[in-house]
Structure 1
């Protein structure tokens, strides 16, 4: 059963336990104008900031909806147990020294287990958690300063870092924040469950997640499904992209994919828009709050500077933004208003000829907005009021807002520098229904994210293939055994023989058709060790090649050479620490690390997803037939990848990683000429 966080998130009564930290919470509650009951519990004080204290928890007049517990970790467990017994609505646990400190201080894990048991059915945030801010209802269950004002609607942010959460509240970008909830250790309630509960508030327009880890993947799937059903977009930052968690794995796939690829694939699969910086995170949430996901990528940029127009075009070149041409009727109307000197193009530099003529500026801006652009963006940096007079720019402000009112179009104003848009003008624009973006790079990234949000499908993805943590011991199957295992699921492999001596090799090779490939057995990366000989045309040459390898290995694998290859493809599957399985498709063979040309998906995958991923690769042009060369059999290639995925799904309880590299795509089929599988040892 999912926890009920409604009383905790929107309390009418709050109990506080502790000294100095509880004083801070009372100060914030009074400052925010919380009009519910405040019940400090402190036997050593008569009052806290004028609010009478209770001597003990037994003196509480009722079960509080929410509690802030700011005592030490042992006392925290006692307070939580008492609150749970009286059926309180929930609590935030501020104390540290639980599971997060286990590596430094013994006993943290045991204390956290005791805390969870003490809480029972009562929801708790943390421990090691600041708490929550509800700017809709003036609930500031928070023991520190914060910068958010009261709002009537806005975005909700769930953060696994209390300090990052504080920083976000201090933003001066005009983002209306409805909730900020710090997740802390997530001992009982994870970030996904918190975010899912926030979706129930109709005043919340979008959700932002600051994630250090994913936690319960099934809970994240449930949250994403609910967000999709409610039509509320989700934006996330996932830190730890540089973590080399797979440095000890055996395959090229693992070293190429890394932990960041699995995280990004997970978010994409669930329809969560991933961004990389806090600035872009806030700007994206703001644009989604004001306008929502964009229905298309057609953007019109408007400025009175050629430099700004050029910068917009240059900085947008590697994004999803599309600067479509004006319609013929627009071009004629704009030419009539702006005169012969102005070039009518998108991005548009309308020059300064009409500056100061608000009605004329309104007509021009309305003409730009009137057609089918998905978003019209005005580049506008305003003078700083402490040293300059911005009143001369009021004409542009008024004209943009008036044109927005006349057309009902989606409109944003973008300041090329974040500091060049004051809070005063930000509020004025937003009251007029115009989104304000602070910073050109950040604004363009936010627009691109809103375009991506608009492209998300409404179909529910299949539940992810998940498995438990990897065992300590694992074993690698030989190449022959790996290929044989995969061929049982429909993967085509070359005819081959194995031999433990040169005599056996030359005797058994008669069953094969030349040319053949000789490989030494025993090492994962055979090419680097000189254990691969290609295009061997006769038995004598086979013997020579085997004798050259004999100093390294005495066991051989010889197979018929796959000729007529169009492209070599890498297909790898690795088990991520989250328990998901990451499928990596890329350029294979000797080009794997050189090109780094990969696409990542999570299992299970559909054939259509595989085909689209293959087309996105740089080698996709080779597969389709490049400069008159024959095309690969894409159906056969897709089928080969599906066969590998089916093997992985069937062995997900033991699979650690597998790689087919290369899978040779040919005009009539796809054939795997090398494979490696690593499985957990059976206990």
Structure 2
């Protein structure tokens, strides 16, 4: 939790120095002074410009040492090479936060990165906090404290609201603010973190948790930095009842570059980020428009609407058949079900004078008065067979708002059942009326579906990991502590975790004696070969001793041709196991969010499948069961059409145990994988394993 003085100096400063402010009103560096004058900032503003005695009609000071009083916040707008020398005067002037607009630091390459490191180190020595460099600035909009060069603040009237926004993109901040303003959304605080060299997104979120003017926090993210700090802030936001909504770039998968295992390709950085958001209660949207339009939905219903462990059911009521069809299609693409009313409800409404049909869309195009529409809304909002109600309004939104818009406003709306609207025509007046009454209204079917899916699909935050990490076990003495383990060594580690491993013997190429009954599988054992199948290092169904000799000879020859530099440490002879299905169970330390565990469809084509579940590691048994249910192929062993069922309790225990690789003492596991993991009636058994250490 940041100190109160830091949070106030960052978000609500009362005295501000503008270093490098220009007297030319056409320049970017003149904007902060112009903006604060225009929007009525009541605090003290000190222009600092050694070349002028006044700036835009305000007295100017040659340097920070000449200021008549201490300042909370300094905004530096001078060339990058002069910034470092200004830090000591900033500290002497009493500043607690310095925002650096100047560029030429970490974003410009190695030399700029070194300058940035020097800047942060010196700031820490002086007790200063740095926002930026390369930050477009920040704003306390209700107070008019616009410490920013963003042209969006040139608007004649800034709408003050209870939403605050934090952005890693300075260039996008103006777009975000202007788009929101065009929809009537007002802001409390806006913060551009720039290079995030010192003050991180997580620290800003943490400060906003304690900001009395902030009710909802929006994030525009390009990446995640300092994930433990952000995680702690997100937990505080949830506990304080302040929803966090995020839009993050970089959804494309580049998993092939991430790791030696299939796990990296299956669950790339974006899947890991999704798991991070899920674990900390963040509502992630995938469209920029949704970032704003979802706010009334979240602000009104987040505290009372229950978390769902199934596909959400949406009751759709419409006055335009075509418009409703576009939304229903979009809902389906997001995994939401437009649910038809049951016969009991149809009979109930018939008794109230309204005839309905049992279809996924309740079409009232010609059938209902405004009073009947309002009554139907209230009955749907009280009905147990749907989780949300969506009103799709046609041309009446533009020409006859009393028919379908006024009932939305006047209907009795319980706190635990979300109500949203999609207006098919361009109807700005109706949109404004709905927003004034805190009703989420959407301009496109895609944003509407994105918002409902994000909100209804949100997850209850996971509890924080135990103090001390809850170590699974201590690393065995004598075993390698870096690089790739052999499969034989990996099997020993899995055994220590409590997982069952297929019975295996390691033998020498020249002495293949073993005690495992035929048929067997044979594999090359080498810490230089991550994927034995790709190297020709696996044979299955070996029938007898003679066949074993032939297969090993052929296998070693093929491995030698494909990977001549690989060192072979032995031959693994393994019992052939049966199974109901094959899964992959993976672990990886994601560079953005830390340890994750992955469960998915397994086998040699594992990474070709989109069938997987990801969580931050370690996980408990309840979370492991959630993961099992999320992997579609597991339906085959969970009672599907009378097929044999697996022991999913034992499988969940294996997932939880495996995830504790996140907290092994004495070594750091970079990634690990069981592929395939044979799922059986009596639990699961690891048939092949990979473990790589930092």
Same fold (TM over 0.5): yes
2:75 is the alignment partner of 1:68: yes
The Cα offsets for residues 135-174 of structure 1, whole Å up to 9 and x where unpaired, read as 2222211112116754453211111111111110011223
Which of 452, 465, 484 is the matching residue for 1:476? 484
Q: Is 2:2–2:206's contact at 8 Å kept on the other side of the alignment? A: no
Name the CA distance, whole Å, in 2 between partners of 1:637 and 1:229.
Answer: 32
Deviates more, 1:146-155 or 1:606-615: 146-155
- Aligned partner of 2:654 in structure 1 is 640
| Cα pair 1:335 1:344 within 8 Å, conserved | no
In structure 2, how many angstroms separate the alpha carbons of the residues matched to 1:362 and 1:679? 62
Is 2:145 the counterpart of 1:139? yes
Match of 1:421 in 2: 427
1:170 alignment partner, SS class: helix
Identify the residue that residue 397 of structure 1 maps to in structure 2.
405
1:40 lines up with 2:55 in the alignment:
no
- The residue that corresponds to 2:11 in the other structure is 9
1:526 is matched with: 532
- Structure 2 partner of 1:240: 250
Is 2:441 aligned against 1:436? yes
Question: In the alignment, is the contact (CA less than 8 A) between 2:50 and 2:62 conserved in 1?
Answer: yes
Mean Cα deviation higher: 328-337 or 181-190: 328-337
Shift of 1:16: 1.1
Deviations 1:489-531 (A, max 9, x none): 32222333333334x11xx13x221121112333322223332
The superposition leaves residues 105-159 of structure 1 with CA deviations (integer Å, 9 ceiling, x where unpaired) of: 57434443355346x3333311110111222222211112116754453211111
Match of 1:378 among 391, 394, 408: 391
Q: Which moved more, 1:267-276 or 1:493-502?
A: 493-502
Structure 1 residue ranges without an equivalent (≥5) = 385-389, 468-472
Deviates more, 1:105-114 or 1:90-99: 105-114
- Work out whether residues 318 and 391 of structure 2, in 8 Å CA contact, stay in contact via their aligned partners in 1: yes
- Aligned-pair CA distance for 1:407: 11
SS at match of 2:457: helix
Corresponding position of 1:170 = 178
Q: Kindly state the Cα deviation for residue 478 of structure 1 after the two structures are TM-superposed.
A: 1.5
Greater Cα shift, 106-115 or 518-527: 106-115
Q: Name 2:619's counterpart in structure 1.
A: 605
Report the 3-state secondary structure (helix = DSSP H, G, I; strand = E; otherwise coil) of the residue aligned with 1:124: strand
In the alignment, which residue of structure 1 is the partner of 2:599?
A: 585
| 1:234–1:515 distance in 2 versus 1, CA, 3 Å | same
CA–CA distance in structure 1, aligned partners of residues 325 and 136 of structure 2? 45
Aligned to 2:314: 299
- 1:421 offset after TM fit, Å? 3.4
Q: CA deviation at 1:207?
A: 1.0
Provide the C-alpha distance between the structure 2 equivalents of 1:330 and 1:494, rounded to a whole number of angstroms. Answer: 55
- Rounded to whole Å, the distance in 1 between the matches of 2:338 and 2:466 is 36
Query: Which position in structure 1 is the counterpart of 2:324?
Result: 309
Contact 2:224/2:593 (8 A) holds in 1: no
Q: Who is 1:250 aligned against?
A: 260
Distance 2:351 2:547 in 1: 81
What is the CA-CA distance between 1:374 and the residue it aligns to? 4.9
Q: State the alpha-carbon separation in 2 of the partners of residues 197 and 403 from structure 1.
A: 37
Whole-Å separation in 1 of the counterparts to 2:254 and 2:111: 22
Among residues 503, 507, 516, which one is paired with 1:499 in the alignment? 507
Q: Counterparts of 1:396 and 1:656 in 2: how far apart (Å)?
A: 57
For the 8 Å contact 2:105–2:113, the answer to whether it is kept is: no
| Deviation for aligned residue 1:606 | 0.9
Find the aligned partners of 2:198 and 2:363 in 1 and give their Cα distance. Answer: 55
CA distance 1:395–1:195, change in 2 (3 Å): same
Q: CA deviation at 1:660?
A: 1.4
- Pairwise mapping of residues 109-128 of structure 1 onto structure 2 (< 5 A)? 109-117=116-124, 120-128=126-134
> What displacement does 1:230 show?
0.4
C-alpha distance in 1 between matches for 2:530 and 2:461: 40
Query: Partners of 1:261 and 1:462 in 2: how far apart?
Result: 24
Alpha-carbon distance, 1:70 to partner: 0.8
Contact 1:337 1:364 in 2 (8 A): no
Residue 93 of structure 1, CA deviation: 1.0
Match of 1:529, SS? Answer: coil
Aligned equivalents of 1:414 and 1:91: distance in 2? 44
2 CA distance for matches of 1:382 and 1:27?
Answer: 43
Where does 1:148-227 land on structure 2 (aligned, <5 Å)?
Answer: 150-151=158-159, 153-171=161-179, 172-227=182-237
1:456 counterpart = 2:460? yes
- Residue 387 of structure 1 corresponds to none
TM-score, scaled relative to structure 2: 0.86
CA displacement, residues 566-593 of structure 1 (integer Å, 9 cap, x when unaligned):
1222111122213712211112222413
- Any idea what the Cα deviations from partners look like across 1:517-567, whole Å, max 9, x if unmatched? 112333322223332221222212222212322423576524342333112
Partner SS state of residue 82, structure 1: helix
Match for residue 51 of structure 1 among 43, 58, 66: 58
Residue aligning to 2:98: 91
- Of 508, 511, 518, the residue aligned with 1:514 is 518
From the superposition, tell whether residues 445 and 111 of structure 1 become closer, same or farther in structure 2 (CA, over 3 Å). same
Q: CA deviation at 1:184?
A: 1.1
Q: Distance in 2 between matches of 1:500 and 1:163?
A: 62
Greater shift in the superposed pair: 613-622 or 96-105:
96-105
CA separation in 2, counterparts of 1:652 and 1:515? 38
What is the CA distance between 1:426 and its match in structure 2?
2.7
Question: Do 1:92 and 1:131's aligned partners in 2 also have CA atoms closer than 8 Å?
Answer: yes
Counterparts of 2:382 and 2:505, CA distance in 1? 71
How many angstroms apart in 2 are the aligned matches of 1:101 and 1:371? 58
Distance 1:163 1:75 in 2: 23
TM superposition score normalised by structure 1:
0.87
- 2:438 and 2:279 map into 1 onto residues whose CA distance is 32
Which moves more between the two structures, 101-110 or 298-307?
Answer: 101-110
Q: CA deviation at 1:465?
A: 6.0
- RMSD of Structure 2 on Structure 1 (CA): 3.2
- Match of 2:477? none
**Cα distance between partner residues in 2 of 1:541 and 1:679:** 36
Alignment partners' CA distance in 2, 1:250 and 1:416:
49
Task: Give the aligned partner of residue 580 of structure 2.
Answer: 566
User: Is residue 246–residue 259 contact of structure 1 (8 Å, CA) maintained in 2?
Assistant: no
TM-aligned CA distance change 1:464 to 1:427, over 3 Å: farther
Structure 1 residues 369, 572: closer, same or farther in 2, change over 3 A? closer
1:670 correspondence with 2:684: yes
Distance 2:163 2:278 in 1: 20
How far apart are residue 344 of structure 1 and its match?
A: 6.2
